[in-house]
Amino acid sequence: MTTVGWTSIYGRNIRTGAISTTALALVLLMGLTSEEVHADTRIVIDSGLSPEELEIYGHSVEMDAAADTGLIREAWFRALEGYDGGLLLENLEREGLTPNFTDPTGMPIGFGTQNGWVGRNCAGCHSAEIHYQGKVMLVPGAPNMLSSGFVRERLTRALAATAADGERLAAFQNRVLGADASEAEHKALADEIRAWLDAYWGDTPENMMKDFAAQDRAYETTGTRPVVGDHPFEAVRNAWMGPQNYFVGGSVVDIPQIWDVEKQASIHHNGNTNSVLGRNVISAIATFYAPSVEAVLDADPRQLDKIGKVSEKIDAPLYPEDVFGPIDREKAARGADLYAQYCAACHATTLPEGEVTDLPRFTAEESGTDEAYFDVFEKPVLGIAGVESQSYGDAVLAVMADFTKKWFERYEITPEEAAQLEVPNPYWKFDRVWISRPMSGIWAAAPYLHNGSVPTMYHLLLPVSERPKKFTYFSKEYDPVNMGFRSDQPLDAAPLLATYDTAVRGQGNQGHEYGTSMTDDQRYALIEYLKTIGE
């Protein structure tokens, strides 16, 4: 049996079909024979991480090892029936989660277990599952928009459906407690579920089910399902700055790729910070879906730093010719000249090793893209930290400073250790700018623009008037010709597909009209060249 597939992709730049050392280590770690590996259709795209680092990245939890806390009790998670039926952990695809075949506990990527609890980490949103002709590729560091909505859209639905239905609740209680559990134990479990839902959703299961049913009827009536995209800085505002500052602008925010971040002087779409500690706090807010500062205090700064340091090692993924087919080298050569003409002034191909690069910044007006992303930053913050009204940036500095003080006191972080957890001279800036990322690994970063409003690179190279106005979103089916994800599938073709409507504020696909005067032949030549970057 040929070993081309897993091994030739997992071992960077191997095209001989021989198994790589890293791939062999992973096979041994999993306890599988090479025949069993190649009987599977799953492929890990090489990220430069060792098997041990992949395990840390994929399954380490963020919470305090000594605390009795986490996202959800492990016994619940394993016994929970999904909203649509069947055990949740047996239907990960339907739930928008990515199975991780290196984990013997059965936890999906971005989830781990500790002290009887399930915890999360950043890998759930920053590891993509890409499908092509029956093969499934896992790409560490690539965006996974489906995972970002799991707690809000799937887990809360499943728990609400369980708590609101007596028969379903009884079956769940028996799976968690055993058939011989007392009535008091059953009641305590039911009360705990309701308390969890109240903390995360602020409503009763019965009211939640009415809301979900109304949503489902609306989807059936219209034949569409709206896209929901979390804005991490709306989450910060709403969880940490008091009810008087609550704001939901509706902007879809695409999860960015995170490879090569150690080479970049600033992070997030608008390059708003260089703070490693701040990045880790934002990650904790997003992964815990934290309703309060107190909940995020359960995230251990040392654990977050350990996971973060592994994530910083992730390399940009090479284009997998073994799966998608060979790159047209003649076209790619022509595409290199087009890249120099249309792209190189803004986008580097790769960043130099051993250096930290200040990425180019372009104003929102220059790029012309949808500006709803900035709405949350431009509303004054009222009545926090003893200040009647202040800018969002000043408010973030205030809440981060207060949180960090409490955090370090709780975990007894010394000044010397604190210096290792943060960069020198951290800053937060919320200007109306976008940073211009390098193009390494761009094949795995679709959909494109900060709000994911353009499904493929081919569409991004078209004039705005010719880009899709509505398209299917959250598809995992890859289109290597156009470089991106299938956008023409019906909503019933796969679980959780949604309808992206670019007419909705926050979902506009305008702007970034660079190279849009090219012919189709030129566009496809440029796409072939983009596939070669990093070789």
pLDDT per residue as tens digits for the range 257-309: 999 999 999 999 999 999 999 888 888 877 765 556 777 888 899 999 999 99
Q: Is residue 74 part of a domain?
A: no
- One domain for residues 325 and 307: no
- One domain for residues 156 and 169: yes
Cα-based angle 57, 61, 66 (whole degrees, multiple of 5): 145
pLDDT band at 183 (very low <50, low <70, confident <90, very high): very high
Residue whose token pair is 């809301």: 211
User: Which residues lie closer than 8 Å to 260 by C-beta, 6 or more apart?
Assistant: 314, 315, 316, 350, 351, 438, 440
pLDDT at 4: 25
pLDDT at 103: 62
- One domain for residues 207 and 289: no
Backbone φ, ψ for residue 229 (5° rounding): -135, 120
- One domain for residues 201 and 188: yes
- One domain for residues 441 and 507: yes
Give the residue, 153 or 345, on which the prediction is more confident: 345
Mean pLDDT of 166-190: 96
pLDDT band at 211 (very low <50, low <70, confident <90, very high): very high
Of 381, 408, 434, the last residue of a domain is 434
Mean pLDDT of 205-228: 89
Give the residue, 67 or 129, on which the prediction is more confident: 129
Is the N-terminal amide bond of 447 cis, ω within 30° of 0? Answer: yes
DSSP assignment letter at 180: T
Does 496 have pLDDT greater than 70? yes
- One domain for residues 215 and 281: no
- One domain for residues 290 and 384: yes
* 445-474 pLDDT per residue, tens: 999 999 999 999 999 999 999 999 999 999
- One domain for residues 405 and 377: yes
Give the residue, 255 or 70, on which the prediction is more confident: 255
Query: Which 3 state secondary structure label does DSSP give 483?
Result: coil
Does 38 have pLDDT greater than 80? no
Residue whose token pair is 């087919």: 325
pLDDT at 273: 93
Number of domains in the chain: 3
Cβ–Cβ contacts within 10 Å for residue 202, how many?
10
Minimum mean pLDDT range among 185-189, 282-286, 379-383:
282-286
- Print burial letters for 111-129: b (CB count within 10 Å at least 16), e (below 16): bbbbbebbbbbbbbbbbbb
- One domain for residues 338 and 301: no
* 327-375 pLDDT per residue, tens: 999 999 999 999 999 999 999 999 998 889 999 999 999 999 999 999 9
Does 144 have pLDDT greater than 70? yes
Minimum mean pLDDT range among 46-50, 61-65, 451-455, 459-463:
61-65
Minimum mean pLDDT range among 187-196, 215-224, 270-279, 438-447:
215-224
Minimum mean pLDDT range among 33-42, 74-83, 210-219, 452-461:
33-42
- One domain for residues 340 and 389: no
Q: Is residue 495 part of a domain?
A: yes
Mean pLDDT of the chain: 87
- One domain for residues 471 and 401: no
User: Which residues lie closer than 8 Å to 81 by C-beta, 6 or more apart?
Assistant: 87, 88, 158, 161, 162, 168, 171, 172
Query: Which 3 state secondary structure label does DSSP give 292?
Result: coil
Q: Which of 121, 428, 138, 136 is nearest to 275 (CA)?
A: 428
Q: What percent of the chain has pLDDT over 70?
A: 90
Q: What percent of the chain has pLDDT over 90?
A: 65
- One domain for residues 338 and 486: yes
Which tokens belong to 3?
A: 């070993």
